[in-house]
Amino acid sequence: MNPKGLLNKPDSLSVIESIYKISLGLKDNSSLIPQIIEDLKRVLNSAHKNQTSIKTVNYIERFSSKGQFKSKLWLIQKLKKIEFFELGQVFLCAGWCGTLAYLLFQEKTLKVKQIFNFDKDPLSITISEDLNRKWVKENWKFKATLKDILDLNYHSAQFNTLKKDGSSQELFVSPDTIINTSCEHIENFTNWWKKIPKGKKMILQSNNFYEDPEHINCVSSLKHFKNQAPLSQILFKGELNLGKYSRFMLIGNK
């Protein structure tokens, strides 16, 4: 794929490879592929305008990896099996490029009201909004905000988010569900955990891939993860073997 000649050959090849990997991951949901190609074209168009093409292609390569995609589809598969679980107002903490939001929006049974992605990496904010453009346009059903997740109030958050014209808007939101599939990346995880009120619905993933230097908060086992993020009620707990490492998941109420 080389939308409007935006990329040089090696870059366009790696995007084609990424789409191929995504299509393998989505084998039961392959009708989504044409849409994903359209959405990635938009992400690349925007990256070209912002002169971030090379970094964006690298992000696409990373988020389309087998482990990343499988982990998100696993989350959705398990969530769908939990009776009466409504996502409502979602805070996607350290939600990176917003691929989980993108996949959750395809699932009508999960009752998503709105998803706010908070990440401290500016490029992730741009990519996640480009990828989820359809829902950004739908009265901010998806909205990304540049923010350290340790600086949020999880009872009732007050934060400023950027509008399309670059001006800022203050929002007050009380989340129903807090998702963090990047727990292995969170410095001062305990401080973040303490900020979350008891009773909040939580969906968490971490892993034991200690080799990655960005993984500063890995856990060695599901038991370790349960101790790090103690829940008063567990609705799902499990481990997904991804070959080189395992991903752990906890769903429940704090």
Ligand X SMILES: C[S@@+](CC[C@H](N)C(=O)[O-])C[C@H]1O[C@@H](n2cnc3c(N)ncnc32)[C@H](O)[C@@H]1O
Residue 233 token pair: 């009620």
Q: Is 68 in the site for ligand X (CB under 6 A)?
A: yes
Q: How far is the CB of 144 from ligand X (least distance, A)?
A: 11
The residue (of 53 and 206) whose beta carbon lies closer to ligand X is 206
- Cα–Cα distance between 182 and 249 in angstroms, integer? 11
Using DSSP, state whether 7 is helix, strand or coil: coil
Q: Is residue 64 a contact residue for ligand X (CB under 6 A)? A: no
Closest C-alpha to 176, from 115, 236, 247, 238? 115
- Applying the rule CB under 6 A, the residues between 163 and 202 that interact with ligand X are 181-182, 185-186
In terms of residues, how long is the chain? 254
Q: Show the tokens assigned to 118.
A: 């908070």
161 binds ligand X (CB under 6 A): no
Interface with ligand X (CB under 6 A), residue from 80, 111, 113, 120: 120
> Binding to ligand X by residue 40, rule CB under 6 A?
no
Q: How many residues bind ligand X (CB under 6 A)?
A: 15
Sole window of 49-57, 118-126, 163-171, 233-241 interacting with ligand X (rule: CB under 6 A): 118-126
What does the buried/exposed string (b/e) look like for 91-108 if buried means 16 or more CB atoms within 10 Å of the residue's CB? bbbbbbbbbbbbbbbeee
- 201's tokens: 């619905």
Residues in contact with ligand X by CB under 6 A are 68, 94, 96, 118-121, 124, 148-150, 181-182, 185-186
